[in-house]
Every structure is written in structure tokens, then in C-alpha cells.
Structure 1
């Protein structure tokens, strides 16, 4: 997935009743062994999303930023417990599942589903077959919206619309 610079303009107003989002995606598999951090090209989709959500007044939980893009990795027991806690606190869960699949992100998707969180998954356009059946079928057991895109920055309006649809579906079901 590529990322271009976000377009200017006024961001959408905050989502009703939503104050936080957990943003997940591939992490440790992207950390460069020589530099000890994720390459800028791999950080960029997360940075674009974090900045987008924060411009809307949302608190963003994100392990990538929290752990300095790989430079300050927490021990497994600590980061696992913290990720689960932050997913439980978050109002919405947004993730890039990854190709190849990110095992950690898939666990986080399971937690978000178990906690009954509205979920938005960002999938690479034209690559549905590269995602596991449980990713593609998660909406059968959870409130999930999918955004298929090739560029995160140009898909931000679609991401916002997907969050609103997921929230509406959750509210309607309640």
C-alpha cells in the first residue's frame, strides 16, 4: 500500500461518541535489523492515519509510535498486555492486516472482535485472495467494515465513512 501526502482542507468533525481509536498493523516484521526501526515508507501509512485521527480530536493508541517505530521495543509481556488494554479502552479499532499477514495484528483483530468494538480493516485493493478466510469473513461475527485501497492518504474519506457505517451498525444492533 502506498501513501501520498494528505490533502489539505478541513477535516471531518469528530465522530459522535467516539474519543479514541486503536490503530494496528504490521510492526516487528517491518523493523529493519540494521537500523532497529521501521523504514519511513512503512511508517508513513500509520503516520498519515494517526495525524488524520488526531486532527479530528481523537486519541490514537498505536504501538508503532509508542515504541518509537521499533527503536524502543517493549518486552513481549508488557506490550501484549498494553495492546489488549488499549484495544479494550478504544472506541474504534482500525487496522492494516498486512500482506503477508501480521500475526500480532490478527490477534489484535480477535481481541477487538471479542470486545465488541467497531472494526475497520484497510485491505490492499485487488488483493482479497491474499487475506485469510477469517479476515474476509470477520464481519459474520463482528461489526466490521472493509476499505480497499492502494493509497491510505487518498482513502481517508472512505476510512471515515467506514467508521461511521460500523458505528451505525453497532448502534442499530443495540
Structure 2
């Protein structure tokens, strides 16, 4: 049977895609970081900054959405990797003023500082949201990311 239907294979578009669902469990942020670390090792990219941001997003999903979350890592051919966290709450995150005495509240500030691009997609019909990000070129190496984190911490004080 022949067809006029033209299509592209995923392997032509992406060199690696990994995805895993994490339960509402205190160990989920650590397990999500491990997923990201393995992914970054497979594509030859340092993982520190991506691990930090994924940890923040997974912790937020567990704390605020109180739902399991899905972490997806995508490496397209010829482009920077991107990362997604999907949870089961339509409530969108908001950038807040940082309370220096608080143990939390810096996630989106870090996202702004370390991500080249990030956005939130909401799906009110299915009551879910996805937060996606791609790292800045200079934050794809651990030393630059650490310097940026120190700068962010100083700016917040």
C-alpha cells in the first residue's frame, strides 16, 4: 500500500527524549534530578543548572499543586535541550518578592536568571499546567551556572 502522506520520524527531529512521572513523595525531587543528570550525561551537557531548576519545579509541583508531576527532557538535533514539568493543577506560578528569611520562594527568580527561555502553558480544561525551560548558553556549564546563582542570591538580598 502506498500513501501520499509525508511525515518525519521522531529520530529525525530529536536525538533523545526521556520522560518520567514522579509521585507526591519527598524523594521525587532527588529522583527527578537523577533523571536530568542521566539525560545530560547522555547528550554531553553538564547537568548542574538543569538539575537545580528541575528540583525547584518538581518541589513546587509537590508543594503547591499537591500532585504527581511528569518531567520530560528533550534534546533536538542541532538545538539546545529543553526541560518540562507538568503537574495536575491549573494554578499558574507567580513571581514574588523574595523573603530573605524564607526557605522557599526563589524558584522563578532562578528560572529568570538561568533560563534562556521559559514559559508556562496552562490547560484549564484538563486542570494541568506545564512549565518549560531552555538553559542559557553560559549556564550549560556548571561553573558559569554557579556564578550566576551567586549573583542571583546577591541581587535578592
The normalised TM-score by structure 1 is: 0.30
More helix by share: 1
TM-score (norm 2): 0.33
Q: Which has the larger radius of gyration?
A: 2
Q: Identify the structure with the greater strand proportion.
A: 2
Q: Which structure carries more relative contact order (alpha carbon 8 Å, separation 6+)? A: 1
